[in-house]
Each structure stands twice: as structure tokens, then as C-alpha cells.
């Protein structure tokens, strides 16, 4: 497989309601996590649901970071997708898990790419 990127899927459980329902805090956390890891933020969009919950995407030159929260369950689903070898998505994940105060988290890494040899890639 020609790995073109790394995709982390984070399952964050047992986070405080107040944290997961705070749009400004969630946005700041994802943007700062990207910047702290050396990623290039090129855009962002976030939305606060009623009565609770936040969803958002930070577009980065290297791909994206997105989140959806269920404060009533203390749960957040986070995806971090980075292209190339220059960045470790686990660094970004560590920041997000810590800032969202998850006491029960897991992560799965999926290599993303195509089943060709580099010599077969189109230019």
C-alpha cells in the first residue's frame, strides 16, 4: 500500500458536560492543537446544537481535524487526518484528549492510501 496519510479515530469518554458543550472552548482546543503540532490551519467551521452538543471541522493544509460531541453522555468523536510524514497525528490527539479532560479514551490509527507501487503513481 502506498500510504498517503494517517487517520486517527478518537473515542473520548467521561469528559465533563461543561467542556463538551462549550463551542468556544472546543474551537479553541482544536485550532490550538493543530497549531501546536505544526499543522497549517486554512479554515474552520463550528456549530452549537440545542439543547446541547458541538460539531466542528478545522481544515488544515495537511487534511483535517473534526469533532462531534454528546455532552449528555460525556462523549466526543474526533477524527484527525494528516497527509505526509512530517507530522505525527498522535501529538495532536494527546493535546485534544488532555484539554477535553477525557478519563477514558481510545484511538485507532488507519493508514490511508492506495494499493499501488510508487512507480505506478501518476504525476
Q: What is the DSSP letter of 18?
A: H
Quote the CA–CA distance of 32 and 44 in Å, as a whole number: 12
Quote the CA–CA distance of 42 and 29 in Å, as a whole number: 16
User: Rounded to whole angstroms, what are the CA distances from 74 to 8, 100, 101?
Assistant: 20, 10, 10
Q: Which residues form the catalytic set?
A: 63, 68, 83
Q: What is the DSSP letter of 38?
A: T
Quote the CA–CA distance of 71 and 73 in Å, as a whole number: 5
Amino acid at each position: 500500500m502506498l500510504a498517503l496519510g494517517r487517520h486517527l479515530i478518537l473515542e473520548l469518554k467521561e469528559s465533563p458536560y461543561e467542556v463538551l458543550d462549550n463551542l468556544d472552548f472546543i474551537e479553541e482546543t482544536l485550532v490550538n492543537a493543530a497549531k501546536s503540532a505544526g499543522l497549517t490551519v486554512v479554515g474552520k467551521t463550528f456549530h452549537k446544537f440545542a439543547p446541547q452538543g458541538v460539531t466542528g471541522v478545522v481544515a488544515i493544509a495537511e487534511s483535517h481535524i473534526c469533532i462531534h460531541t454528546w455532552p449528555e453522555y460525556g462523549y466526543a468523536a474526533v477524527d484527525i487526518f494528516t497527509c505526509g510524514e512530517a507530522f505525527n497525528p498522535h501529538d495532536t490527539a494527546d493535546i485534544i484528549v488532555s484539554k477535553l479532560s477525557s478519563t477514558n479514551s481510545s484511538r485507532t490509527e488507519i493508514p490511508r492510501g492506495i494499493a499501488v507501487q510508487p512507480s505506478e503513481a501518476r504525476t
